[in-house]
Amino acid sequence: MNTGSKPDISREKSAELYEKAKNYFPGGVNSPVRAFKSVYGTPLFIQKGDGCFVWDADGNQFIDFCGSWGPLILGHNNAKVREKVTEVMQSGMSFGAPTALENELAELIIKNNKFVEKIRFTSSGTEAVMSAIRLARGYTGKDKIIKFEGCYHGHTDSLLVKAGSGLVTFGETSSAGVPKSFAQETIVIPLNDTEAIKAAFEQFKGEVAAVIIEGIPANNGLLMQDPEYIKSLEQICKENNALLIFDEVITGFRIGFEGAAAYYGVKPDIVTYGKIIGGGLPVGMYGASAEIMGHISPDGGVYQAGTLSGNPVAMAAGIAQLTELLRSGFYKELNNKATEFAESIQRFATARNYKLKVFHVGSIFWMAFTDKDKIQSAEDIDPASMEKFKLMHRELLNRGIYLGPSGYEVGFVSAAHTKIELEKAKRAIFDSLDVVFRNK
């Protein structure tokens, strides 16, 4: 039986730490969404994580569905990852010279991924995307980039751009500090809209270096695209001598080892990875055919570098994590577990006539407060629905469930979530939904 709204958990220690942090960091954080601006209360300061659990500074325990925003597909503090990292660390932490560990992680990826022949490691997803864009421009000799409203690609200048008015427009900067002239090189169009991309290529004939899309857009809700649409992007890029860039920083190694490209059966020209690839340490990567990658320095004229790129400790974490993912049946088991979880929440909501849709793919899920059967573009999301998320988020924290602190963020099921914890989480979600929909 639902017991109604729960009293708030203690956040005394977190609140204290947050007050202190505000003296040191803008908004008290080192990445904005962590500041809990879209949900109730002060941010929780996390003290430790193990398996599918995290504990905050006040000792509250949560079943975690944020997973450091995606990297922790094996859960927190995985023994294999921890042991490998600890072992490698004994020999020093950075050399700025090549190590065998880079070869080892590269081999694990390239041997098991038909979409990349050569790769370059970076230290974040943002860097990987920024470099992929430069590569596309250097390779094609063209400047303009087409991006989609509702896709996030990190905080690189030319992609901090939102749609202007009209179907096909230059973007408008979505951050202060991005020169207008940069935004002029980025064309922003809606997702899942064949006419818009045709019009963009028509209007900027011969000027487009690349189309960049998230393999499966998962940074602004989970915006599942029609497979035919994704395939049509491959075609239209070919026709226009533009490169197709799949930003698989979330979807890479998540919905399968080869990410969204394999899921759709589409061959992107350049792929970017991040998050999971580093096993919880800072790693990004971009890759392409040997021919395209031949344009990267020192072989080619496109400059890109990094003091800590290919860092041995980060490589070690990636090697340990990806080795686990390659075990036979890994994705099948994880994805089945996550599907069952998402579908049972949907069944509960449907049975009670709650306006909630649980969109999911692989082990990614997104709870949307809507009655639409499909949400495929940014404008399909009703901002007012976020009020319900906010209520749910508080109820869930009070019941020991941690979701990312924004209704636009997806959740992740990890291999460390056992049936028992998923059942507990479901009960907590059901009870929270009862509270949310009774409060309307």
Residue with tokens 């007012």: 384
Q: Is 409 in the site for ligand PLP (CB under 6 A)?
A: no
Q: Is 360 in the site for ligand PLP (CB under 6 A)?
A: no
Look up 139 and say whether it is catalytic: no
- In whole angstroms, the minimum distance from the beta carbon of 225 to ligand PLP comes to 14
- In whole angstroms, the minimum distance from the beta carbon of 284 to ligand PLP comes to 6
Q: Is 412 in the site for ligand PLP (CB under 6 A)?
A: no
- The mark string for 112-141 relative to ligand PLP (x by CB under 6 A, - otherwise) is ------------xxx--x------------
Report the distance separating Cα 412 and Cα 430, nearest Å: 18
Q: Is 395 in the site for ligand PLP (CB under 6 A)?
A: no
Q: Is 148 in the site for ligand PLP (CB under 6 A)?
A: no
**Interface with ligand PLP in residues 219-238 (CB under 6 A):** 219
Of 275, 337, 357, 388, catalytic:
275
Of 139, 152, 286, 331, catalytic:
152
Among 45, 121, 148, 152, binds ligand PLP (CB under 6 A): 152
Contact 260, 364 (CB under 8 A): no
Sheet holding 46-50, edge to edge: 46-50, 53-56, 61-64, 401-402
Among 88, 135, 196, 249, binds ligand PLP (CB under 6 A): 249
Q: Candidates 50-58, 146-154, 374-382, 411-419 — which segment interacts with ligand PLP by CB under 6 A?
A: 146-154
- In whole angstroms, the minimum distance from the beta carbon of 78 to ligand PLP comes to 19
- What's at 99, amino acid-wise? T
Q: Is 144 in the site for ligand PLP (CB under 6 A)?
A: no
Among 102, 149, 185, 247, binds ligand PLP (CB under 6 A): 247
Region label for 177, one of left (φ > 0), alpha (ψ between -120 and 50) or beta (otherwise): left
- In whole angstroms, the minimum distance from the beta carbon of 67 to ligand PLP comes to 12
Q: Is 149 in the site for ligand PLP (CB under 6 A)?
A: no
Report the distance separating Cα 123 and Cα 432, nearest Å: 38
Q: Is 246 in the site for ligand PLP (CB under 6 A)?
A: no
- In whole angstroms, the minimum distance from the beta carbon of 347 to ligand PLP comes to 29
| Residue 129 CA to its chain's centroid (Å) | 13
- In whole angstroms, the minimum distance from the beta carbon of 409 to ligand PLP comes to 10
Look up 247 and say whether it is catalytic: yes
Q: Which residue is nearest to ligand PLP (CB)?
A: 125
Among 51, 75, 138, 154, binds ligand PLP (CB under 6 A): 154
Report the distance separating Cα 107 and Cα 291, nearest Å: 18
- In whole angstroms, the minimum distance from the beta carbon of 69 to ligand PLP comes to 6
Q: Is 71 in the site for ligand PLP (CB under 6 A)?
A: no
Q: Which residues are catalytically annotated? A: 152, 247, 275
Which residues here bind ligand PLP, judged by CB under 6 A? Answer: 124-126, 129, 152-154, 214, 219, 247, 249-250, 274, 284
